[in-house]
């Protein structure tokens, strides 16, 4: 079970941990002599009259408040002391109060994708990105203020139980999700393989809310699937932009020219996202120069992510499949290929998860995931606000498709083998009927 993937860069996530620890070790080694000389002076500054270390003095040591500061940190420590002295349960640990205070501070931002993670949660998040975890195999996020299924992973317990992209989760094992953040929801849905979780959900067109019972399993997320379709059309399904995606994708791309591919279907449906670097390198296989995606924030910060090496798929007729479960890194790829005129985007409007998170780990194993900007396509579209609208809208027919049937894929193959290329855009292909609850 994942939270809607925040598209961290591997440079920020994978390499950061090693660099951070290296810096810590270097600073510790270099600073031992200096610290030895200053230790007595600092200790006297932060001790109270009884010789005990006061946390408030540690925090405020050498800190100068500027005129804009309206926060009295001594009130925080006053409340801390009152809890320690008067709270009925004397078993409360300092570390729990400490973590709780930080979690509350980040929660106050009102951003579902900015999260402070205690060490255990941070470790689980890292496992999610590696592609192995135990749970139901679904990506969740916040949409319209409600806990929402971004996408069930292919062949996961969630998909087998009938969970769909866009489902709103009202409760988890009878606990209401009202006001619940993503990480709390993930921790409640996640569990040991073989155990069961009961979700109450609502679905567009389904009428009343209904229960979905799901048995948890060990989830091994495949990165990329490949097959030949029709008359030498390469079908590449990218399920997640995790640690293995770039290697797997590269292996399949190397086959296309050798085996005479006449077209490509890039399937990003129900792909919740992942690493930014992988999205940029994948897009660069079709795009020769220019920008893949840009980061922008209200404080004036901006950064372009340009094309990198590759370009092996330039000139191939390509159709990209998307739906409401395509999010984050998936939207970056679809938006870049669409804006550069390298592919036709077919399907439904994407999820609209276009915020940029920095991910930092700390000495104790905890981590902070903080939104610092929003994604914009090469033509300046705000992914977080608008999502990616397809060139040709095709609404999936969940109820009437037979097992193993994929009408959207069939439509993509039809477009690639038609005499006219590129096909007429801004068309709507409707095959849906009113959806009913399973």
CA distance 354 to 31: 41
Contact assessment for residue 293 and residue 316, using Cβ atoms and an 8 Å cutoff: no
Distance CA 200, CA 171 (A): 5
| DSSP per position, 183-237 | HHHHHHH---TT-EEEEEEE-TT--S-EEEEEE-EEEE---EEEEEETTTEEEEE
**67 - beta bridge partners?**
none
What span, in angstroms and rounded, lies between the C-alpha atoms of 187 and 193? 14
Give the other-Cβ count within 10 Å of 87's Cβ: 11
Query: Could you tell me the sign of the dihedral formed by the alpha carbons of 132, 135, 136, 139, in that order?
Result: negative
Annotated catalytic residue within 143, 353, 369, 411: 353
Distance CA 287, CA 312 (A): 9
Beta strands at 196-202 and 175-176: parallel, antiparallel or unpaired: unpaired
Considering the candidates 339, 355, 391, 411, report the single residue annotated as catalytic: 339
Q: Which of 267, 277, 265 is nearest to 232 (CA)?
A: 265
Nearest to 231, CA basis, from 409, 416, 406, 419: 416
From the list 284, 328, 355, 366, the catalytic residue is 328
Residues 6+ apart with CB under 8 A from 169: 140, 146, 147, 148, 149, 177, 185, 199, 200, 201
DSSP class of residue 177?
A: -
Alpha-carbon dihedral sign for residues 109, 18, 186, 236 = positive
CA distance 38 to 44: 10
Is 353 known to be catalytic?
A: yes
Q: Which helix (H) or strand (E) holds 9?
A: none
Residue 3 among the catalytic residues: no
Tokens, residue 203: 């679905």
Beta-carbon count within 10 A of 316 CB = 18
DSSP string of 327-373, one letter each residue: -THHHHHHHHHHHTTS-EEEES------EEEEEEE-TTS-EEEEEEE
The catalytic site residues sit at 328, 339, 353
């Amino acid at each position: 079970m994942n939270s809607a993937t925040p598209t961290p860069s591997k440079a920020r996530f994978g390499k950061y941990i090693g660099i951070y620890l290296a810096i810590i070790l270097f600073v510790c080694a270099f600073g031992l002599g200096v610290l030895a000389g200053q230790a007595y002076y600092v200790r006297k500054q932060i001790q109270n009259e009884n010789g005990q270390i006061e946390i408030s003095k540690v925090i405020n040591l050498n800190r100068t408040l500027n005129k804009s500061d309206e926060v009295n940190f001594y009130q925080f420590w006053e409340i801390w002391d009152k809890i320690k002295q008067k709270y009925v349960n004397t078993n409360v640990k300092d570390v729990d109060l400490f973590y709780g205070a930080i979690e509350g501070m980040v929660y106050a931002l009102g951003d579902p994708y900015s999260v402070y993670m205690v060490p255990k949660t941070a470790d689980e998040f890292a496992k999610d990105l590696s592609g192995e975890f135990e749970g139901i195999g679904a990506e969740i996020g916040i949409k319209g203020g409600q806990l929402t299924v971004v996408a069930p992973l292919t062949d996961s317990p969630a998909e087998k139980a009938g969970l769909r992209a866009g489902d709103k989760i009202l409760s988890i094992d009878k606990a209401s999700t009202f006001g619940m953040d993503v990480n709390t929801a993930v921790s409640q849905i996640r569990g040991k393989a073989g155990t069961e979780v009961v979700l109450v959900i609502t679905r567009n067109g389904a009428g009343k809310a209904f229960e979905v019972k799901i048995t948890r399993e060990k989830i091994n997320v495949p990165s990329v699937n490949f097959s030949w379709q029709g008359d030498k059309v390469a079908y590449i399904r990218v399920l997640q932009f995790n640690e293995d995606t770039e290697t797997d994708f590269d292996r399949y791309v190397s086959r296309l020219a050798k085996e005479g591919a006449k077209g490509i279907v890039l399937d990003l449906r129900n792909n919740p996202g992942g690493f930014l670097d992988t999205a940029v390198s994948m897009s660069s296989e079709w795009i020769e120069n220019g920008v893949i995606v840009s980061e922008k924030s209200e404080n004036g910060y901006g950064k372009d992510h340009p094309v990198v090496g590759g370009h092996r798929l330039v000139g191939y007729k390509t159709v990209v499949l998307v739906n409401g479960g395509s999010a984050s890194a998936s939207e970056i790829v679809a938006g870049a290929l669409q804006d550069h005129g390298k592919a036709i985007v077919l399907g439904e409007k994407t999820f609209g998860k276009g915020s940029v998170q920095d991910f930092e780990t700390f000495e104790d194993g905890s981590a902070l995931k903080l939104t610092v900007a929003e994604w914009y396509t090469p033509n300046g579209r705000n992914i977080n606000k608008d999502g990616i609208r397809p060139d040709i809208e095709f609404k999936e027919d969940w109820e009437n498709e037979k097992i193993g049937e994929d009408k959207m894929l069939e439509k993509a193959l039809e477009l690639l083998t038609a005499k006219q290329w590129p096909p007429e855009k801004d068309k709507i292909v409707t095959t849906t009927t009113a959806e009913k609850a399973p």
